[in-house]
Amino acid sequence: MINIYTEKEIKVMAEGGKILAKIMKEIVKEIKPGITTKYLDKVAQDLILKYGAEPSFKGFNNYPAVLCTSINEEIVHAVPSERVLKNGDILSLDLGIRFPANKASKGYCTDLAITVPLGKINKRVQKLISVTQKALEIGIKQAKAGNHLEDIGWAVQNYVERNGFNVIRDLVGHGVGKEVHEEPQILNYGTEGTGPELVEGMVLALEPMISMGNYEIEKCDDGFGYCTKDKSLTAHFEHTIAITGKRPKILTKI
């Protein structure tokens, strides 16, 4: 079942999304060669507490950290560690919060991801990042009342493949709100005009994950993350959006 949220509930999610965007901006400022991803996880945890929210990833499916830090061929859900970031890496950060914290009724979840290059990267890698970010924008434009769910993935896939990259097929976006992951699953590929009709009040986490090589994946050594099977580089961008009467509303705009 796909949850439909009221205008009041979406307003609370928008407050949380604004806080999540602020937190992500502050984390990005800390990224530089020589630091560990575990350090970034501590930064994220401190900021979440500072802004009166709660981490939504920690403990979800036994995930042990607050932040997901996926490097190079790691696509998503990689666990922060003592691994040191170096010049030329690309780092995908994925973060979710529940806001407001410590309420008897529980807060609402929002979700946001971004890919950041460290230092100098070549033009092909920069294109990968740019195309992934643009693919998210294109997907969001399709997320309007009256369209169908697979219109989103169809638009993402067409744009990505025209630019010489591949969408990851075994990982998906999702509904979000009362829980971290809700129905529906949102493919980054699809057939135009198919899937459930999008209606006002749906809240969705759209998240294109794009590979420079093949789209086949495997588990990372940490047991939580996913990597490309051919070890090709990947990028990942995500926003939480609400379907409104006029146009999709981005709740996590940075």
Fill in the DSSP letter of residue 62.
Answer: G
Provide the residue type at 73 as one letter. Answer: E
Structure-token match 């794009």, residue found: 210
Task: Flag whether 89 is marked binding.
Answer: no
Task: Flag whether 148 is marked binding.
Answer: no
> Which 3 state secondary structure label does DSSP give 110?
strand
Alpha helices for 149-212 (secondary structure H): 149-162
Task: Flag whether 236 is marked binding.
Answer: no
Residue 136 falls in which region: left (phi positive, over 0), alpha (psi -120 to 50) or beta:
alpha
Provide the residue type at 141 as one letter. Answer: K
Q: What are the counts of helices (DSSP H) followed by strands (DSSP E) for the chain?
A: 4, 15
Task: Flag whether 77 is marked binding.
Answer: yes
> Which 3 state secondary structure label does DSSP give 13?
helix
Task: Flag whether 239 is marked binding.
Answer: no
DSSP 221-244: TTSS-EEETT---EEE-BEEEE--
* Alpha-carbon distances, residue 75 vs 31, 59, 228 (angstroms): 18, 20, 7
**Rounded Cα distance, 9 and 231, in Å:** 41
With contact defined as beta carbons under 8 Å apart, do 162 and 210 qualify? no
Query: Residue 204's CB: how many other CB atoms inside 10 A?
Result: 28
Annotated binding site: 77, 94, 111, 174, 181, 207, 238
Annotated binding site for substrate: 77, 181
Annotated binding site for a divalent metal cation: 94, 111, 174, 207, 238
